[in-house]
Amino acid sequence: MDARFMRNTTRTALAWRKINKRVEEQEQRKRKATGSDSSSSEREEGSSPRSRNKKTKRRLHKQDTLPDWTRRDPALLEISDSDEDILAPKKQKKSAIEDSPSKSNGRRARSRSRSLTPPPALSQFALQRARDTVNQVVGIVPRAPSPTDFADDSVDTIVLDDEMASIARRVKLDMTRQGSPVREGGGPETVKLKVFWKPHPLNPSGHADIWAMVQKRHENFHPLFAEIADLASIRIDNLVLSFDGKRVFPSSTPHSIGIWAEAELEACDRNTFQYLQENKRMRSESLAPPGPPETQDAARRSPSRTRSPSIEFNDAASDDATPAAEEHREEKPADSFRLVVRSERTAGKNITLLVRPTTKCGAIVRGFLKKAGLEAEYPASPPAAKGRGRGKAAAPAKAPALSVDGDRMDPETEIGEADLEDGDQVDVVGL
């Protein structure tokens, strides 16, 4: 029976013990989940571990380093997942790995969440090329025709009522007055300004003055106001500056009010400005159309309408003409106009004189003194001293004069040179 089997005579008892020991080690590895005992025994005996143990350890170590969301089902992953699972403690990760069954080596790759990064912007060339391609394929749709603009019916044949016609004329006149040319840009960098100081017309001690100043075109008038107020010895708040009859404020600039290279400005204090504005207002009120003669006569006789009797003055052919009262205003000559004369001696009284452009200022003053009852105090030609002697020199006679907007007029000057209109107000100074 033993002859049928081949006996291995090359193995000794020591070799068989090694084979049996290897079989026992394999059985122990199968029974244990980890190969820690077998690896320690192999180190003691000097044998190297198998490659399978290395792969298992490497796979476990890799699972410890990866976050939890990589081991989830890709179908359950969402962008709005909380970061608490990703940042969980390392101990919880290890326990979860030990409890979960081991996966096969052919595990699918880790999935990624959707990217929120916007796509790169297209270049202008690419956009234009796409537009051209679309236009070639689809074609450019022509623009719809604009509706025909039918001209409004002519208003030439429309006849308005008298009241509506007067309103239309007034609106048209206001639009014409308010229209101003557009300011042109440019100009020199600096402008030369000539400032005329105007004292109060009723102030006998006041005197006019002229100051020359230079200012930058685009600089406001704050420094100019301070300098003028210093020269005039008044406060800046009481200073009023005007250009072409319009008030100029410190926030304005030479360019904003239309000054090119040179300009003349008028400066005065607030009281003088209000006085001049009141005179202009009275002039505008006097330009209102007169009523019927009966109404004018009643207003002339009524003390409530006027504080003083309305006196009219007619200029005769000679220079020594005296004023004469008229019964009706419709008898006024075509080339004559009315003046409202005031003075310090006749405060609260307005004396109206009817004059012609050729009337001299001296004749107007004499007519005013006569109507005001002051002719005896201011004779036209004072009497000369008679006899001889070395007495004291006589005091100079008082010489009243006519003042127009603060300018003292010469007695021999014709009133037409002052360029006054019907209803303008003048003053008699030197009383």
For the chain, the domains span: 64-97, 190-278, 290-379+398-429
Asked if residue 195 has pLDDT above 90, the reply is yes
Which residue did the predictor score with more confidence, 100 or 268? 268
Do domains 190-278 and 290-379+398-429 share one topology? The answer is yes
Cβ-contact 429, 205 below 8 angstroms = no
Average pLDDT over residues 313-320: 39
Average pLDDT over residues 173-189: 62
- At residue 53, the pLDDT reads 58
Q: What is the pTM of this model?
A: 0.30
- pLDDT band of residue 260 (cuts 50, 70, 90) is confident
Q: What share of the chain is helix, strand, coil (3-state, %, to 5)?
A: 35, 15, 50
- At residue 407, the pLDDT reads 80
Name the strand (E) or helix (H) holding 172.
Answer: helix 162-178
- At residue 304, the pLDDT reads 37
Q: CB count, 10 Å around CB of 356? A: 17
Which of 70-74, 85-89, 207-211, 227-231 has the least mean pLDDT?
85-89
Give me the long-range contacts of 241-244 (CB less than 8 A, separation at least 24). Answer: 241/195, 241/265, 241/266, 241/267, 242/266, 242/267, 242/273
CA-to-CA distance for 429 and 344, rounded, in angstroms?
8
Considering only the top CATH level, what class is 290-379+398-429? alpha beta
Asked if residue 389 has pLDDT above 60, the reply is no
Q: Give the domain 190-278 fold.
A: Ubiquitin-like (UB roll) (3.10.20)
Average pLDDT over residues 223-236: 92
Asked if residue 228 has pLDDT above 90, the reply is yes
61 Cβ neighbours under 8 A, 6+ residues apart: none
Give me the long-range contacts of 261-265 (CB less than 8 A, separation at least 24). Answer: 261/187, 261/188, 261/191, 261/192, 262/191, 262/192, 262/193, 262/194, 263/191, 263/192, 263/193, 263/194, 264/193, 264/194, 264/195, 264/196, 265/193, 265/194, 265/195, 265/196, 265/241
Asked if residue 302 has pLDDT above 70, the reply is no
Cβ-contact 267, 240 below 8 angstroms = yes
Which segment, 68-77, 79-88, 367-376, is predicted with the most confidence on average?
367-376
The mean of the pLDDT values for the chain is 72
CA-to-CA distance for 346 and 364, rounded, in angstroms?
15
Asked if residue 88 has pLDDT above 80, the reply is no
CA-to-CA distance for 69 and 196, rounded, in angstroms?
90
- At residue 379, the pLDDT reads 73
CA-to-CA distance for 324 and 354, rounded, in angstroms?
9
CA-to-CA distance for 315 and 356, rounded, in angstroms?
6
